[in-house]
Copies of this chain bind each other. A is one copy, B any other.
Amino acid sequence: MEPTGVEPIKTLAMRLSGFPGIGMKTALRLAYHVLEMSEESARGLAEAIINAKEKIHLCKRCGAYTDSELCSVCSDKTRDHSLVCVVAEPKDVLSMERMREYKGVYHVLGGTISPIDGVGPNDLRIKELSQRVDDEHILEVVIATNPDVEGEATSSYIVRLLKPKGIRITRIAHGIPMGGNLEYIDEMTLYKAIEGRRDI
């Protein structure tokens, strides 16, 4: 759908419709909101976009988003640096941190192995993970890639690579989500839940 209207509104709506989950109709609604904003708010939003893009890069050690050389987790001496959680994307670190219970550090792969998209192990920060296990005093690696085909393949690859190094390698648990209902849970999740059952 082509937005009707004046050129600068069209242009803005087109740009906004590039966001995930934002169609042209929502994009137009957002563009109108920009017009109704104060001059100051609009300028603040534009600056926040530029700022985020310019200041944020990946942590030299773990690959998470940061505005310094090392991210706040890697530079935190009170975290357990012998426990490394492996995630696919930088934003996954923020999801994990939201939980506030994990006390280890991270390693971000920058994606998952996906032959269809032409992503192999060498396109990910897997070598760097292996190097960290060799160089740093790491006792356990917990793999937290998503439980889909690519995530599982990536997990298997890492397990095979790190197993010979004699450290503990774990995978986050899969099962019924809290508040979930057995009636609506798919068979695969149910199977994982039974398989991963624990003594109480």
Residues of A that sit less than 8 Å from B by CB = 3-9, 11-12, 15-16, 18-22, 26, 28-35, 37, 39, 41-53, 55-56, 65-67, 71-72, 90-91, 94, 97-98
| Cross-chain contact B46 with A4 (CB below 8 angstroms) | no
Q: Determine how many copies of this chain the complex contains.
A: 2
Secondary structure at the A interface, as helix, strand, loop or mixed, is helix
Contact with A8, one of B33, B51, B94 (Cβ below 8 angstroms): B51
Query: Which B residues are in CB contact (< 8 Å) with A37?
Result: 18, 53
With A4-B98, A8-B51, A12-B51 known, 19 other A-B pairs at CB within 8 A are A5-B65, A5-B94, A5-B97, A6-B65, A6-B67, A7-B67, A8-B52, A8-B56, A12-B52, A16-B45, A20-B33, A21-B29, A28-B94, A32-B90, A35-B65, A39-B53, A42-B49, A46-B47, A46-B50
| Cross-chain contact B53 with A34 (CB below 8 angstroms) | yes
